[in-house]
């Protein structure tokens, strides 16, 4: 998966940003990337459906994960409902459920995972943010999800400037596969 994000200071994109995104998506397809990770909001804090529809068109057969831009929406439940409209065209939604750590959003994540499972033609919930070898057992026991996004929680000292920690990854994998 390749991140499509021309800057990191917001999820609102100008016309020139959108042109860069289109070029990046085209390049991803040319290079044989499996999919893209994307998310965009309007200046009002709603899902940018105009840009989302363009990205869906541009991506062709590439898989699409809508990323944590949903956490920055002014109304996360409304944003989720908007994404559900595009459910068959989005493969995953990467989300913490609206808090800094997924462990603090278990009720919302449970609801969204249940909704996703009840609608098999829709996207999957990819639980992310704050997922570590220390809390994966609690998360997995509560959510029974099939996929988790692990960032710094898979690294030594939970720092992105450190190497991956094979033992932490093995512990996380063991819990999910048990």
CATH domain 2-95 topology: TIM Barrel (3.20.20)
Residues 69-90 have a mean pLDDT of 96
pLDDT at 121 over 90: no
Distance CA(140)–CA(112), nearest Å, equals 14
The answer on pLDDT for 178 being more than 90 is no
**pLDDT per position as a tens digit, 126-140:** 999 999 999 999 999
Q: What is the pTM of this model?
A: 0.94
- Per-residue pLDDT at 91 exceeds 90: yes
Is residue 120 over pLDDT 90? no
Give the 3-state DSSP-derived string for the chain, with helices as H, strands as E and coil as C. Answer: CEECCCCCCCCCCCHHHHHHHHHHHHHHHHHCCCEEEECCECCCCCECHHHHHHHHHHHCCCEEEECHHHHHCCCHHHHHHHHHHCHHHCCEEEECCCCCCHHHCHHHHHHHHHHHHHCCCCCEEEEECCCCCCCHHHHHHHHCCCCEECCHHHEHHHCCCCCECHHHHHHHHHHHHC
Domains of the chain: which residue ranges? 2-95
């Amino acid at each position: 998966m390749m991140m499509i994000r021309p800057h990191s200071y917001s999820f609102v994109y100008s016309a020139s940003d959108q042109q860069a995104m289109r070029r990046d998506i085209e390049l991803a397809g040319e290079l044989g990337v499996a999919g893209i990770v994307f998310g965009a909001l309007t200046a009002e804090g709603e899902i940018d459906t105009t840009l989302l529809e363009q990205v869906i068109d541009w991506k062709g057969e590439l898989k699409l994960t809508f990323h944590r831009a949903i956490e920055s929406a002014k109304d996360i439940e409304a944003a989720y409902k908007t994404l559900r409209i595009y459910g068959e065209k989005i493969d995953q939604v990467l989300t913490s459920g609206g808090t800094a750590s997924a462990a603090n959003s278990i009720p919302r994540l449970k609801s969204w995972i249940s909704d996703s499972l009840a609608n098999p033609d829709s996207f999957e919930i990819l639980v992310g943010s704050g997922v570590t070898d220390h809390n994966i057992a609690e998360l997995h026991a509560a959510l029974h999800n099939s996929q988790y996004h692990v960032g710094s929680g898979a690294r030594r000292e939970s720092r992105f400037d450190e190497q991956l920690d094979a033992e932490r990854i093995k512990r996380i994998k063991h819990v999910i596969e048990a």
